[in-house]
Structure 1
Amino acid sequence: MKVEVLKRKAKSIYTRSKIPGVNWTVNQYVGCAFACRYCYAKFLCRWRDYGEWGSWVEVKTNAPELTKKRVRGSVVMSTVSDPYQPIEAELKLTRRVLRYMDKRNELSILTRSPLVTRDIDLFREFRSIEVGLTINGVDGREKRLFEPLAPLHKARVNALQTLYDESVRTYVFVSPIIPGVTDVRTIVEETRGLADYYFFEVLNLRAAGREFERLLMEEYSESYEVLTDNEKFESFIGALKKEIKALKVRAEG
């Protein structure tokens, strides 16, 4: 898929967060070329008439200068994009944002890209920083259907290993958890000891959009049924909580 790059100047870069426990969000990019079919950020297409999700990326060219501002509290990068999506390898916008950002800020970075390991030298300059890898174990057919353009599972695990080896505080964001598809136990066992904690998130079918809902209904009807039948969903959640507890890892959220 060809990606259109739209360069814009922003008025500000720190946005008040609605996420519990998070004070600010930073998005130097808007839109994401990984184009995951279930991405919750697709709602942005309502206000940005650039085309289908994944076909465009908005670049805030003055983001590095704007991030010099000191904000109090926790900052998350990013919520409507991936800070290390393919274009970052060329533009190095995220790297410049990190260089300019006040190192006293409490920063949490979330990505699914192994490119994140490039900036370990800058991570060391921050007083408080953590890096999360979205690891959901999709491979083969599921990857082709759900996130064909995203980095491979093994590449994400290797990036987590590198960050751990370099003493960077890390977490694993297991998302989206899809009944009958996501093997939570295998993900934890493969990454055990490489993350300070885990965050587990079950797929929000409504946020994933009607197109993905149809895809799941057609290709994984049993998964769809669990997510749409209240009784089966409650049973699934109960079993998932027991499984996570049995894995004996630190779980947040």
Structure 2
Amino acid sequence: MKVRVIERRARGIYTKSRIPGVDWTVNQYVGCAFACEYCYAKFLTRWKGYGRWGSWVEVKTNAPDLARRHVSGSVVMSTVSDAYQPLEAELKLTRRVLRYMDKRNQLSILTKSPLVTRDIGLFMEFGNLEVGLTINGFTGREKRLFEPLTPIQKARVNALKELHESGLKTYVFISPIIPEITDVSAIVEETRDFADRYFFEVLNLRASGREFRELLREEYPESYEALTVEKAFGEFLWRLRKEIKALGVKTEGIETHRRGWEFVGL
């Protein structure tokens, strides 16, 4: 699918965050060609008017100049895009943002792409930086239905390993966790040698959008029930907490999104 590129100049690149534990967000791109069916950022299509999610990407052409500012607190890149989506290989906008960014900034980068390893040299210049890979274990049918355009899991795991072996702090974002589908233990066992910590996020069914909710209800009714029926969800969450606790990895808990943002301790 050909992706429409919209170039524009932004007034700023650091945005105050509403995400608990995150002070600032940076998005040099808005929109994402990975076009994951469950993506929480799809809400942007209501205001952007460019068409279906995944068919367009906004490029903030002056982002490198705007990145020079020093901000206090934690900065996360990216929340409504992927900094290393396919377009980045050509435009190198993320690379230029990193080059001009104040290296004192506390930066966390999250991506699904092995392209992230290209910038290991730049990452080493930061005093406080970590890089995370979203790894959810989707293969076969689930991959085709949920995120057909993303890099495969093995490529993500290999990227995580390369980042770790270069001496960088790394984390794994296991998301979305979908009952009866996501094998959390298998993901941890495959990555534990290369990850300093883990984040666990249960699928935010409301934010995933009507089309994905219908897809999940029709194709995976047991998973849908476990996320929508209070008793079933409680049982699923109890099992998940027990499973994660037994794995013994460093984490702060589980994001559930049942009533807005919720963080469930272990």
Fold conserved (TM > 0.5)? yes
Aligned to 2:141: 141
Report 1:185-196 matches (<5 A).
Answer: 185-196=185-196
Aligned to 1:252: 252
Aligned to 1:92: 92
Report 1:65-80 matches (<5 A).
Answer: 65-80=65-80
CA drift at 1:51: 0.3
Tell me if 1:161 matches 2:161.
yes
Aligned to 1:103: 103
CA drift at 1:110: 0.4
CA distance in 2, matches of 1:27, 1:52: 19
Unmatched tracts of structure 1, length 5 or more:
none
CA distance in 1, matches of 2:187, 2:231: 26
Other structure's SS at 2:48 match: coil
Aligned to 2:264: none
Return the letter of the residue paired with 1:14: Y
CA distance in 2, matches of 1:136, 1:19: 21
CA drift at 1:248: 0.5
CA distance in 1, matches of 2:153, 2:206: 25
CA distance in 2, matches of 1:7, 1:26: 17
CA distance in 1, matches of 2:11, 2:33: 24
RMSD of aligned alpha carbons: 0.5
Aligned to 2:40: 40
CA distance in 1, matches of 2:70, 2:100: 11
Aligned to 1:13: 13
Unmatched tracts of structure 2, length 5 or more:
254-266
Aligned to 2:126: 126
Q: How does the TM-score come out when normalised to structure 1?
A: 0.99
Other structure's SS at 2:18 match: coil
Aligned to 2:204: 204
Tell me if 1:151 matches 2:154.
no
Number of aligned residue pairs: 253
CA distance in 1, matches of 2:82, 2:64: 16
Identity rate, percent: 73
CA drift at 1:54: 0.2
CA distance in 2, matches of 1:184, 1:120: 27
CA drift at 1:252: 2.4
Report 1:53-68 matches (<5 A).
Answer: 53-68=53-68
Deviations along 1:223-247, whole A, 9 cap, x unmatched? 0111111000011001100000000
Moved more, 65-74 or 80-89: 65-74
Q: Which runs of 4+ in 1 moved over 2 A?
A: none
Q: How does the TM-score come out when normalised to structure 2?
A: 0.94
CA distance in 2, matches of 1:105, 1:39: 27
Aligned to 1:82: 82
Return the letter of the residue paired with 1:219: E
CA drift at 1:21: 1.2
Deviations along 1:130-183, whole A, 9 cap, x unmatched? 000000000011000000001101000000010011011000000000000000
CA distance in 1, matches of 2:70, 2:200: 31
CA drift at 1:2: 1.3
CA distance in 1, matches of 2:137, 2:168: 22
Return the letter of the residue paired with 1:163: L
CA distance in 2, matches of 1:121, 1:137: 28
CA distance in 2, matches of 1:15, 1:163: 27
CA distance in 1, matches of 2:43, 2:205: 13
